[in-house]
Amino acid sequence: MTPQNPDSRARLGLRESATFDRTTIAAIQRAADTGIYDIRGWGAKRALPHFDDLLFLGASMSRYPLEGYRERCATDVVLGDRFAKHPLHLDIPVTIAGMSFGALSGPAKEALGRGASEVGTSTTTGDGGMTPEERGQSKTLVYQYLPSRYGMNPDDLRKADAIEIVLGQGAKPGGGGMLLGQKISERVAAMRTLPQGIDQRSACRHPDWTGPDDLTIKINELREITDWEKPIYVKVGASRVYYDVKLAVHAGADVVVVDGMQGGTAATQEVFIEHVGIPTLAAIPQAVQALQELGVHRPAAGGAADRKGVQLIVSGGIRNGADVAKALALGADAVGIGRLQGLALAAAGPEGVVHMLKLLENEVQCVLGNLGLTSYDQLGPEHIYMEPDTVNPPHKLSAFPLLEEGY
């Protein structure tokens, strides 16, 4: 029988179900056949509100643009100056997010460190611990402190330039990850003290605390181990962002990292990836509102130059410099990228990491100049146009004024 084209089916009154489409039916058939749920990597594939739903309000009569060839736009950022003796000073507001040794090879981790160092930013270890190659090639390295404690070493904590306590990940908030057996080499297994070639599941919560009070104790413990030198980040998967950010600040975090559900993962249950958490775009206003209510969001920009703030890093689905600039305009101080750098590394090798980071910096500078701004912290929601009702997070959308400042 000759397959019918869509027009022929429509004339016969036949149309595909929006609820039970072909992909859904295939998933049901596969589940019925195997009786197991899907585990995969990457991130959410469903369409979600994202940065493409926002547009910049460029310079015009009311605001003049900068001449890019002679008027400099600063993109450097300081992270972790709330309590740490040695905060990080990055040349660009883009950091490389945590990706584990195991999910990535040793040479890949080394290449990310080398690229980040050349551009003047930081990279992050990920689950499984710190490798000597990564530390040796990374001028600024953030050490992730995860629930699994795989590869955790107090000496490595002291070697790091900052510590990131991971409470959740955007692709699986509240869930642990997996590293499939084919990636568990002899070296990876030794670092994790687990069998070679066997699937490894990471814990979903830290073993030595059960709530925010215990997080305060843990942060103080890490500060004592590192002589109060290192900035302490707290990373959460975007879910109950408003409350999580407030609790992280009260616990003593220098920096809060919010990872939206477009964030990537090496492997986890698909039901987590597609159905748990909230989009990055919906998470930023909640985080900013929490920081503003506590008086720690960009205090210098608000006239309180003597007060130390808590910086906000946003990650999850960042693809280009426009996404970076929009995240900064909504209130982030920096963004984290993971899959973007992985794709750049796969496409062009170590040079691709450098090229991508420089491109992001240049595109942010282009946007700043177009808006007539000289620094990223001058960016604000008043520079953004957004279609009404594009995003509807659980909390107020006050971070999106629509021309209410007179622009």
Q: Rounded to whole angstroms, how far apart are CA atoms 81 and 232?
A: 10
Please check the confidence at residue 385 and state whether its pLDDT lies above 70: yes
Compute the C-alpha angle 168/174/175, nearest 5°.
95
Q: Return the CATH number at 245.
A: 3.20.20.70
Q: Rounded to whole angstroms, how far apart are CA atoms 185 and 173?
A: 27
Q: Would 216 be classed as within a structural domain?
A: yes
Q: Would 31 be classed as within a structural domain?
A: no
Q: Would 403 be classed as within a structural domain?
A: no
Binned at pLDDT 50, 70 and 90, residue 404 comes out as very low
206: left (phi over 0), alpha (psi -120 to 50) or beta: beta
Higher pLDDT, 347 or 300: 347
Q: Would 193 be classed as within a structural domain?
A: no
Q: Would 35 be classed as within a structural domain?
A: no
Q: Rounded to whole angstroms, how far apart are CA atoms 239 and 236?
A: 8
Binned at pLDDT 50, 70 and 90, residue 387 comes out as low
Q: Which domain holds residue 86?
A: 51-175+204-386
pTM, rounded to two decimals: 0.91
Number of domains in the chain: 1
Q: What is the mean pLDDT of residues 55-67?
A: 87
Q: Note the pLDDT of residue 394.
A: 39
Mean pLDDT (the chain, rounded):
90
Q: Note the pLDDT of residue 398.
A: 40
Q: What is the mean pLDDT of residues 110-136?
A: 95
